[in-house]
Amino acid sequence: MTQSIDVGLWREAMGGFLSGITVVTTRGEAGVAGTAVNAFSAVSQDPPLLLVCLDRKSRSLDAIRKSGILAVNILSNAHMDVVRRFAAKSEDDRFRDVDFFDGVTGAPVLAESVAWFDCEVHALHDGGDHEIVVGRVLDLGSNKNAAPLAYHRGNIWCLDAGAATPEQRS
Ligand SMILES: Cc1cc2nc3c(=O)[nH]c(=O)nc-3n(C[C@H](O)[C@H](O)[C@H](O)COP(=O)(O)O)c2cc1C
């Protein structure tokens, strides 16, 4: 039996968790695809596994299922302007003006990421209205000097040299 909870309280409570922001990408027959994701975690070092949780309605999830590949890009302050675009339903050209190169799997790796992980799909698990995608990392990169973006209560912050700068919200 599914126990009902207060959805507003659920969102408020989960919104209190400070996370980084990633863009999860893939490449399939329809070309490149990608979406903003903060449900990301390391899983295993040996073998190297990570996970992301994607809404079952996500077009990117559908593309990842078909292609069997994904890249997880940890966003930096260079990506402040593109986060909302990678989350907007109405945006068809999310990669506009975004520098990227092809990883070994063919998935797009965003330039200036704090770190990136190029993966093949290792497993897909039931996650309720989301699906848990476990990726096996085939290649990775790190730019330890890049300042990461953070997400908290719907706000995007740049963690730069110890100071947090919020985005300008319209
Ligand atoms: C900061 C941020 C984090 C997000 N995290 C997730 C997430 O972890 N999983 C998810 O399914 N959607 C997440 N979203 C929402 C998706 O980016 C959004 O629904 C997007 O339109 C899905 O695109 P798609 O259908 O092309 O895959 C997040 C959005 C933002 C702005």
Q: Where are the domains of the chain?
A: 7-158
Confidence at residue 169, expressed as pLDDT on a 0 to 100 scale: 45
Instruction: Compute, in angstroms, the gap from residue 38 CA to the centroid of ligand 1.
Output: 8
Q: What is the mean predicted confidence (pLDDT) over 127-137?
A: 98
In ligand 1, which atom is closest to the CA atom of 130? Answer: 11
Query: How high does pLDDT run on average in the chain?
Result: 93
* Alpha carbon distance 165, 62 (integer Å): 35
Please tell me whether the overall predicted TM-score, pTM, comes out greater than 0.85 for this model. Answer: yes
Smallest CA separation from ligand 1 atom 16, residue: 87
**How high is the pLDDT of residue 170?**
36
CB neighbour class for 34 (10 Å; exposed up to 12, middle 13-18, buried from 19): buried
Residue 156 identity (one-letter amino acid) = I
CATH architecture of 7-158: Roll (2.30)
Among 151, 160, 17, smallest CA distance to 78 is for 160
Question: How many other C-beta atoms can be found within 10 angstroms of the C-beta atom of residue 168?
Answer: 6
Q: Which atom of ligand 1 is nearest to the CA of 151?
A: 1
Closest CA to 78 of 130, 126, 149: 149
The residue to mutate among 38, 80, 149, having the most atoms of ligand 1 within 8 angstroms of its beta carbon, is: 38
pLDDT at 128 over 80: yes
36 in contact with ligand 1, CB cutoff 6 A: yes
User: CA–CA separation, 38 vs 69, rounded Å?
Assistant: 18
Instruction: With cut-offs at 50, 70 and 90, classify the pLDDT of residue 144.
Output: very high
Ligand 1 binding pocket includes 95 (Cβ within 6 Å):
no
Amino acid at 82: V
Q: What are the pLDDT digits (tens) for 58-110?
A: 999 999 999 999 999 999 999 999 999 999 998 879 999 999 999 999 999 99
